[in-house]
Structure 1
Amino acid sequence: MPNPGGYALVVDPTLIGPDSNIKFTRVLIDNGSSINIMYRDTMLKLGIIDNMLEPSRTTFHGIVPRVLCAPVGKIRVDVLFGTRENCRTENLVFEVVDLNSSYHALMGRPALAKFMATTHIGYLKMKMPGPNVTITISDNYKRSMECMAAGSALAESLVIAGEKKKQ
């Protein structure tokens, strides 16, 4: 790894929707976030429609620079990590946002606490207790770099679009 500690932890859990179970390959683990976030396109892929969302009173900063974000609603979804022989499923609340992102979802401290997971950013690993043995989830820095580059390009385009509106 060229720059230990310089990459985000991106994992691939299975999210269980009403119509389908999908293994998403770009879910960001963010130890600094006090909420879990799901993007609208992920919601639609899972077969969740707008009338299934509960109202949300949450607002937050940080996805788009200098912009306050209000979710369109929130939804409970089962999230699964591990293999058929040793897996862990927890029901998590996600705030659904209508934004573009290089990620499918973001899992913050509420998810880490529910799974009793610990992360090691230097090694890009996450561990949690499983029914048989500890479940270890590994990321690779190339996928992390790809997501980071796509996210930076998206953020830059949003900032440019915002500046053009001001003119």
Structure 2
Amino acid sequence: MYAKTLDEMGIDRTNLCPIRAPFHGIVPGFPGTVHAILERPCYAKFMAIPNYTYLKLKMSGPHGVITVGTSFCRTYECEVECCGHASAVIASEELATLREEVVEEAPSTKEAV
């Protein structure tokens, strides 16, 4: 989850605590289309039910069922944006590799004495 998402939700960062869940990585410098990736333990904890066909997530709330959803058009836009981010990340990794190769192959600037 992005820090900006926490701020927009009004969640104070001092309320966060470390957990032993696996960490898959981050993409620095790129805003993503996904604000949080929830997995089965989270769904179980909140008794949430994802429905991927209808792009809905339902869970119990203090005043009834909470439904979070989106449209197929928005989902497609997110997929296109994610592909753009992935391409940029791959390109930056390839650029970093090329830079390392150039530095390794560069002749020494020190003259032999």
Same fold per superposition (TM over 0.5): yes
Change (3 A) 1:157 1:57: same
Which of 34, 43, 58 aligns to 1:127? It is 58
d(CA) in 1 for partners of 2:67 and 2:2? Answer: 25
Deviation track 1:82-107 (CA, whole Å, cap 9, x = no partner) reads: xxxxxxxxxxxxxxx57331222222
Query: Counterpart in 2 of 1:112?
Result: 43
Does residue 5 of structure 2 align to residue 42 of structure 1?
yes
Unaligned runs of 5+ in 1: 1-37, 62-68, 70-96
Query: Counterpart in 2 of 1:9?
Result: none
> SS in structure 1 opposite 2:37?
strand
TM-score, normalised relative to structure 1:
0.44
Which of 95, 103, 112 aligns to 2:34? It is 103
- Letter aligned with residue 52 of structure 2: I
RMSD of aligned alpha carbons: 2.9
Alignment of 1:13-162 (within 5 A): 38-45=1-8, 46=10, 48=12, 52=14, 54=17, 60-61=23-24, 69=25, 99=28, 100=30, 101-131=32-62, 133-162=64-93
Query: Highest CA radius of gyration, 1 or 2?
Result: 2
User: Which has the larger helix fraction?
Assistant: 2
Query: Counterpart in 1 of 2:94?
Result: 163
TM-score, normalised relative to structure 2:
0.61
User: Which has the larger strand fraction?
Assistant: 1
Q: Which has the higher contact order (CA 8 A, sep 6+)?
A: 1
Contact 1:117 1:128 in 2 (8 A): yes
